[in-house]
Amino acid sequence: DCFINWVDGMREDDPDIVAIDGKTSRRAHNRSRGQNPLHLVSAWAARQRLVLGQQVCAEKSNEITAIPELLERLELTGARVTIDAMGCQTKIAAAIRN
């Protein structure tokens, strides 16, 4: 939340296009401890070239549960949101509209 507040202060205007996508940091793991690579969902403001926020996907979860959590913390009024097929869920579409 601190990061998102800082980013909001850096923005000069509202984002017009926001791309939401997940990424796995392939080298961010520790096999000896049984830790899987870190998987994040990010919201990228295209015009501002700025990450608006990120959400970690839980170990036994996926982007479908992380995306609504990220959307709750962002102010996207008036923005066009792009998302891949993983995000084409009724709950996620409703969160984007709200």
How do strand 17-25 and strand 80-83 relate by DSSP bridges? parallel
C-alpha 47/C-alpha 70 separation (Å) is: 20
Q: Identify the pLDDT of residue 44.
A: 94
Rounded to two decimals, what is the model's pTM? 0.77
Residue type, 23: K
Digits of tens for pLDDT over the chain (98 positions)? 677 777 777 666 666 899 999 988 776 656 666 667 788 999 999 988 889 999 998 876 788 999 999 999 998 888 999 999 988 999 999 999 88
Six-digit token string for 36: 């899987």
Task: Report the CATH number at residue 16.
Answer: 3.30.420
How many separate domains does the chain show?
Answer: 1
DSSP assigned state of 54: E
Range of the domain at 18: 2-97
